[in-house]
Structure formats: C-alpha cells, structure tokens
C-alpha cells in the first residue's frame, strides 16, 4: 500500500502560469517547499534546483532521467533524492487536464544536511563504525515512502502554509527529522536488498538474513540479539534507531510480503497462506494484512484474479 502525504489541492486553472511544471513556492529559513503540477503531455523537461532536493510524487506518473542512471517510472508513494546542482530530465507521458501530475520538492541547504549528519554521528553513531550516517544521493536515491517519512512530509507541508511566529523554529526541527527518516530509509534499502553482500561485515545484515531464512519458524528477539552480539535491550533500540522500525515490525512486513506472494497462486487458500507465511493465528493474520495492505487477504486475492 503506497504511503502518500495528505492531498495537496491543485491550482485552479486561472492561477496556472504554465501547464508544464507549474511551480508554487513556500520559502522558509530551513528549507524551500515547491509544489509542481503538469497538466499536459511533455517530454525531456529539464529541472535543476541548485540544492539537494527530496521530491515526492503525489499524483500521476513521470519518467525520470538522472545523470548516470537508466530512466525509471516515478509513481505516487515514491520519493527521489536529487543531488546538489544535479539536473533531472523529466517526461510526462500521461499528463492532461483530467490526469495531472503533482509532485512535492523540498530543497535542503547543504549546511542543514551537514549539521544533521554530524550531530547523528557524534551523538547516535551507527552500530558499524565503518558505515557512518550519510545521505546518499546516488545508489539509494529512489525508494518507496515509509509511514514515518510520509508523516514528516505532511508536517513540512503544514508548516510551509502556517502563519505562526514560531513556524521557522518548528521547521528547523522538522527538516532535521526528515533527514533522519531519509537516512533510515536508505539504511533499510542497503540491508534489506543487499543483506547477503553485507552478512559478514554488518551485524544487522546477518540478522536480516536469518529472518529471511527462518520466516516460517518462531523467531525470537533473544536469538536475533545474539546474532547481533548485543543485549536484547540494546539490539531492539539500535535496530529501530538505524532502520526506522523494530525487529518485530520487520518480521511482520516480511511475512506479509510472503503472504502476498502465496496469494498470487489461484489455488491457494487464505488459511493455508496464513500458516505458510509464518503466522499462527488466522484472525491476527487477517487484521495485520488489512492494516498493512488496506484490504483483507481474501479481497487482495480477488483483486489479483480480476
């Protein structure tokens, strides 16, 4: 289920200055929030915002071309980090008046990023000294939004429109939180997709590998903390700090993903899928599946089958 910030109203037609990447700007001391809308098909549209930028799709579809990377589709519920002074070239293959694209773009000053990264590395260093906190604008720059990142983006939008006297103070704290959420999201990507590559050099990669290999068995935090060579309390705390979710939440996400895979088989039964995915209670499975996917397992299966 894609994680989308609360909807942002489109500009009335009479307020548009262009039909391609119409820009609404909210400038604060800590960041600049831009809302871009496109209401007609367009191709090879260049955009360079100077700063490091977090962009988040709200509606429609783009095709992004970033330096040194193959083109990719960019859809609602996803974000892309664009490096400082990097030019993105964008296609809008489906945009029209009835189906516009809309995208948030948060331009972040380099000093803000550096201060946040330095503070984290000094006060809350990562579990592996050879992998300090940093914001990656290359290898893990396109990703699915997490609920935590989405919530932070919503608050940035609200603060941008606020007229209160302390909004810039609050905005400074919130942009720091957003940067932390971004780095946690990238840390997840690094481990969850490349855990085998890092299993011998990163204690949490070894934990991820164990979870994936024993998904249908009972997995205890005691066993995972032993693999990480940490006490149970320290493991639980540091895992969540670095990756933005608890070990238990990660296990649930992996089991839900396995259940979705099994449900794609037309002959599968929901009750069988429950146990084969590692759950031991069908009512609990149904509740969690709806919480994560927005529909029950039975509805998900019917949607797949058309």
Q: What does the pLDDT profile of the chain (306 residues) look like in tens digits? A: 568 888 899 999 999 999 999 999 999 989 999 999 999 999 999 999 999 999 999 999 999 999 888 999 999 999 999 999 999 999 999 999 999 999 999 999 999 999 999 999 999 999 888 889 999 887 768 999 988 899 999 999 999 988 888 899 999 999 999 999 999 988 888 888 878 877 777 889 999 999 999 999 999 999 999 999 999 999 999 999 999 999 999 999 999 999 999 999 999 999 999 999 999 999 999 999 999 998 999 999 999 887
Structure tokens at 149: 């990142």
Q: What is the pLDDT of residue 1?
A: 59
Phi, psi values for residue 28, rounded to 5°: -125, 170
Q: What is the pLDDT of residue 301?
A: 92
Residue with the two structure tokens 């006060």: 123
Phi, psi values for residue 287, rounded to 5°: -65, -45
Cα dihedral across residues 8, 77, 245, 263: positive or negative = positive
Helix 247-263 and helix 203-213: axis angle, to 10°? 40
Residue with the two structure tokens 């800590």: 30
Domains of the chain: 1-194 (2.60.120.280), 199-306 (1.10.10.60)
Closest CA to 57 of 112, 102, 1, 13: 102
C-alpha torsion angle, residues 132, 234, 197, 214 (rounded to 10): -160
CB atoms within 10 A of CB 207: 25
Reduce the DSSP state of residue 287 to 3 states and report it.
helix
What is the DSSP-derived secondary structure letter of residue 162? -
> Alpha-carbon distance 48 to 36, whole Å?
13
Residue with the two structure tokens 């509606």: 59
Indicate the length of the chain as a whole number: 306
Q: What is the pLDDT of residue 92?
A: 98
Residue-wise DSSP of 200-230: TT-HHHHHHHHHHHTTTS---HHHHHHHTTS
Which residues, 6+ apart, have CB-to-CB distance to 25 below 8 Å?
Answer: 32, 33, 34
Q: What is the pLDDT of residue 190?
A: 81
């Amino acid at each position: 289920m894609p994680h989308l910030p609360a909807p942002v109203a489109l500009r009335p037609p009479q307020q548009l200055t262009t039909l391609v990447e119409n820009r609404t700007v909210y400038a604060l001391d800590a960041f600049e929030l831009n809302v871009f809308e496109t209401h007609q098909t367009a191709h090879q549209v260049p955009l360079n915002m100077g700063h490091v930028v977090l962009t988040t799709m709200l509606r429609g579809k783009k095709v992004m071309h970033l330096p040194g990377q193959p083109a990719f589709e960019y859809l609602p519920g996803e974000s892309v980090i664009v490096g400082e002074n990097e030019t993105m070239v964008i296609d809008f293959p489906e945009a029209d008046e009835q189906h516009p694209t809309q995208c948030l773009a948060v331009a972040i000053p380099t000093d803000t990023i550096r201060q946040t990264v330095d503070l984290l590395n000094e006060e809350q260093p990562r579990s592996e000294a050879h992998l300090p906190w940093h914001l990656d604008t290359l290898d893990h720059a396109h990703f699915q939004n997490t609920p935590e990142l989405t919530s932070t983006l919503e608050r940035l939008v609200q603060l941008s429109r606020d007229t209160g006297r302390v909004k810039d103070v609050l905005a400074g704290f919130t942009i720091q939180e957003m940067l932390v959420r971004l780095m946690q999201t990238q840390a997840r990507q690094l481990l969850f997709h490349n855990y085998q590559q890092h299993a011998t050099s990163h204690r949490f990669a070894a934990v991820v590998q164990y979870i994936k290999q024993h998904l249908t068995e009972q997995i205890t935090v005691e066993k995972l903390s032993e693999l990480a060579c940490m006490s149970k309390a320290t493991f639980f705390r540091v895992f969540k700090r670095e990756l933005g979710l608890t070990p238990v939440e990660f296990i649930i996400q992996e089991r839900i993903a396995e259940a979705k895979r099994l449900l794609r088989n037309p002959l599968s039964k929901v009750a069988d899928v429950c146990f084969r995915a590692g759950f031991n209670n069908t009512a609990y499975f149904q509740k969690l599946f709806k919480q994560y996917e927005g529909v029950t397992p039975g509805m998900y299966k019917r949607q797949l089958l058309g």
